[in-house]
Amino acid sequence: MTEAEKELRYNALKTIRDGLVKASNAPLFKYRTENKYFPVIGEGAHDAKIMFVGEAPGETEAKTGRPFCGAAGKFLDVMLDSIGMDRTTVYITNLVKDRPPGNRDPLPEEIAYYSPLLLEQIEIIKPRSIVTLGRYSMAFLMNHFGLGNQLQSISKIHGQVFHVKDRDMAIVTLYHPAVALYNGGMRETLLKDFAVLKQFLGDEFPEELFEKSSVVSAQSDDEDAPSGPVALDLPKKELLPEQTTLF
Ligand code: URA
């Protein structure tokens, strides 16, 4: 990436951050400010080849402004390490940018409000693969990118790679990492699914992967594990004001 492109991306992401910080019309703005939470925009490389999209920040994330920095995030770090990556080489964000009260599922109006910000982030970063973590980001992004007809429950399509036909981009549907926290048996499934991402680390988009079909299946077993966030009882952390600049 050239210096000019770097600056362009930085400024575009900063604009998203600055806009959301003062967006008093955001559905979770009141809850955020009353609780002295931060919006969680995203973190990582602005030219990442892989972008991870979770559901919404939990309490630890809202207190620090960092995505996936609680217990589920620790397992995400383990999975990244398993393919030789870390947070500095990928970009991590969420569908909903503010914490829903009590870690409840996001409401349709919250997804409607925050998802355009995610779509802007995708256009800025231009990842080669978008990894959905959990069923909300999976459903939203598959529908948005014209893959709605292939959408099934996450227990059916976890670990699959879908080709977004009109661009060199894939959507990889993974379980939410929190699943491994309340069902230890799922750790291996998550790690196995994660290995599919190795194919997106090269310099070129792996077009040949999709020559026969628009879907590459890494996994076709049928566990019926729940997906999505869990209410995590996480240790309280100090506020880190400098983290609010993250985006
Ligand atoms: N769960 C999510 O979906 N996102 C986070 O940032 C943290 C936990």
Residue 185: HSE in the Cβ half-sphere, 13 Å Cα cutoff? 4
Task: Determine whether the shortest distance from the Cβ of 100 to ligand 1 is under 6 A.
Answer: no
How many A from CA of 71 to the centre of ligand 1?
A: 10
| Ligand 1 pocket: which of 51, 59, 61, 230 to mutate (most atoms within 8 A of CB) | 61
How many A from CA of 184 to the centre of ligand 1?
A: 18
Q: How far is CA 72 from CA 23, 24, 68, 242, in A?
A: 28, 29, 6, 22
What amino acid is encoded at 231 in this protein? A
How many A from CA of 58 to the centre of ligand 1?
A: 6
pLDDT in tens, 129-184: 999 999 999 999 999 999 999 999 999 999 999 999 889 999 999 999 999 998 98
Task: Determine whether the shortest distance from the Cβ of 44 to ligand 1 is under 6 A.
Answer: no
| Ligand 1 pocket: which of 38, 52, 68, 230 to mutate (most atoms within 8 A of CB) | 68
For residue 231, is pLDDT > 90?
Answer: no
* Minimum-distance ligand 1 atom for the alpha carbon of 228: 3
Mind listing the domains of the chain with CATH numbers? 3-218 (3.40.470.10)
Q: How confident is the model at residue 211 (pLDDT cuts 50, 70, 90)?
A: confident
pLDDT at 114: 98
Q: How confident is the model at residue 223 (pLDDT cuts 50, 70, 90)?
A: very low
pLDDT at 162: 97
For residue 113, is pLDDT > 50?
Answer: yes
| Ligand 1 pocket: which of 87, 110, 176, 247 to mutate (most atoms within 8 A of CB) | 176
pLDDT at 243: 40
Q: What is the mean pLDDT of residues 74-101?
A: 96
Pairwise CA distance, residues 206 & 222, whole Å: 27
pLDDT at 224: 44
pLDDT at 218: 59
Q: In whole numbers, what is the pLDDT of the chain averaged over residues?
A: 88
pLDDT at 226: 41
In our burial notation (b when 16+ CB lie closer than 10 A, e otherwise), range 64-103 reads: bbbbbbbbbbebbeebbeebebebeebbbbbbbbbbbeeb
Task: Determine whether the shortest distance from the Cβ of 229 to ligand 1 is under 6 A.
Answer: yes
Q: What is the mean pLDDT of residues 71-77?
A: 95
pLDDT at 209: 85
Task: Determine whether the shortest distance from the Cβ of 72 to ligand 1 is under 6 A.
Answer: yes
Backbone angles phi, psi at 230, to 5 degrees: -125, 155
